[in-house]
């Protein structure tokens, strides 16, 4: 049994390597290299910071982070995939699309700083440190408005310049965090370091765009374009917020219901479980332009390309989930120390939620190509509501493990289970089931004219 499993994994990795040699594959490779450096380095720093702070202080930091990211989700306006789609369809209007997207995201992101601070004040009226940290981290999410530059690079299937710029910004911010740890800085200093990294990333993306012969001075915001973008992105905005709810509400509720120490331990498991999520995200981001083009070529080609994407993403999820399950407890003990040992069983379960998170990301490419943004909203909103209800029921009984179980069920529902309730998605549900049962990476670079049957 084990030799057959190893042989299957080896064959799958050979196919995955071949897929990575294509143009979308090379673009995805740059995205993944950027994420590996930033998330890998970030994981090392997070582990170091968590050991330095201890579970309780790390729980305060995680609470502030979750709350800031929850409201910071409004700042993205759901414009990422819509902007990429419009840039692929209308490259001549790139300056207007990018300028309008940037203006909208900056405006809303700035407003969300105050909203996040108010929410922290309501939830923790006697904790001014958590309130300040939430506002600082929310300001960092507002600067993510400059990620619209990356939307342009994605539309060109060209990720190298943005990846290099962001990696340089991360390296500088990482050095700052190391200095803070060595100098035994207070907790709030790490929130300021987060803001510094976002500012550096914005500058780096702007310079990368300039070096690619782009000119920010040519960007223009237009009211008519804003209305058009908001009309298409409004459901995606709500979907993004709903995703953040069912991805982050567990930490907010756990901190409120079980205390900072329990949240700190749970957050250690979450950090490791989510460490590889960038891989399916990078694959989907680089495949989206080709999927949009394949839809125009015909239904058969479109569905074939989607099935390859689903199967590839599922294979990647298994490749991470199986080993992590086997080594979860000793890994947590080794990395975080015995104070966090109870995060091991949490990680062993939570990592399987990543399979459905990955498939949900892949399915979003289909919904974007179809412009079924309201369907996306419906599925993730019900997933978020389910997560809240399950957390209320399970956290009082099982603490962090209750939050783990609630999250996994919510992830499955939002990505897979909901497909069988909503008739237009039943075919997608069957395709996702096929990917779960027979995960197999395939080439993602075939143009519509290359696909069988064309």
| Distance set, CA 179 to CA 65, 132, 218, 234 (Å) | 21, 22, 39, 42
User: N- to C-terminal Cα distance for the chain?
Assistant: 40
Confidence of residue 195 (pLDDT cuts 50, 70, 90): very high
Contact by Cβ (8 Å): 363, 428: yes
pLDDT surpasses 70 at 447: no
C-alpha closest to that of 168 among 201, 210, 214: 201
The pLDDT, as a whole number, for residue 413 is 95
Structure tokens at 126: 């006697």
pLDDT averaged over every residue in the chain: 86
Confidence of residue 443 (pLDDT cuts 50, 70, 90): low
Confidence of residue 450 (pLDDT cuts 50, 70, 90): very low
């Amino acid at each position: 049994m084990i030799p057959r499993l190893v042989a299957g994994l080896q064959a799958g990795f050979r196919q995955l390597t071949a897929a990575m040699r294509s143009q979308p594959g090379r673009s995805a490779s740059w995205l993944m290299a950027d994420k590996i450096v930033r998330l890998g380095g970030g994981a090392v720093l997070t582990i170091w910071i968590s050991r330095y702070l201890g579970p309780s202080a790390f729980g305060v930091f995680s609470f502030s982070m979750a709350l800031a990211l929850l409201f910071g989700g409004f700042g993205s306006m759901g414009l990422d995939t819509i902007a990429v789609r419009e840039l692929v369809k209308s490259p001549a209007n790139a300056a207007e699309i990018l300028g309008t997207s940037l203006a909208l995201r900056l405006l809303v992101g700035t407003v969300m700083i105050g909203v996040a601070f108010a929410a922290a004040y309501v939830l923790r009226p006697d904790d001014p440190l958590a309130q300040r940290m939430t506002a600082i981290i929310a300001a960092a999410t507002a600067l993510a408005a400059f990620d619209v530059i990356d939307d342009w690079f994605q539309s060109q299937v060209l990720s190298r310049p943005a990846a290099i710029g962001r990696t340089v910004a991360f390296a500088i911010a990482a050095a700052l965090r190391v200095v803070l740890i060595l100098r035994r800085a207070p907790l709030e200093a790490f929130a300021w370091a987060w803001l510094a990294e976002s500012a550096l990333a914005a500058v780096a993306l702007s310079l990368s765009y300039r070096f690619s012969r782009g000119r920010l001075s040519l960007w223009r915001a237009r009211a008519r374009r804003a209305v058009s973008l908001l009309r298409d992105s409004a459901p995606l905005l709500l979907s993004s917020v709903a995703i953040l709810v069912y991805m982050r509400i567990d930490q907010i509720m756990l901190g409120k219901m079980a205390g900072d120490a329990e949240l700190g331990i749970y957050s250690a498991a979450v950090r490791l479980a989510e460490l590889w999520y960038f891989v399916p995200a990078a694959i989907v981001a680089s495949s989206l332009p080709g999927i949009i083009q394949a839809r125009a070529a015909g239904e058969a080609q479109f569905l074939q390309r989607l099935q390859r994407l689903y199967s590839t993403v599922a294979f990647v999820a298994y490749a991470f989930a199986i080993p992590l399950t086997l080594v979860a407890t000793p890994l947590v003990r080794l990395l975080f120390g015995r104070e966090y040992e109870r995060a091991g069983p949490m990680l062993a379960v939570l990592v399987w939620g990543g399979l459905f998170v990955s498939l949900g990301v892949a399915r979003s490419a289909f919904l974007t190509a179809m412009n079924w943004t309201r369907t996306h909203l419906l599925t993730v909103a019900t997933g978020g509501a389910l997560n809240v209800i399950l957390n209320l029921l399970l956290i009082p009984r099982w603490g962090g493990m209750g939050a783990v179980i609630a999250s996994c069920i919510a992830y499955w529902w939002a990505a897979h289970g909901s497909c069988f309730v909503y008739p237009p998605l039943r075919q997608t549900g069957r395709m996702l089931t096929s990917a779960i049962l027979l995960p197999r990476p395939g080439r993602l670079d075939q143009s519509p004219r290359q696909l069988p049957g064309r």
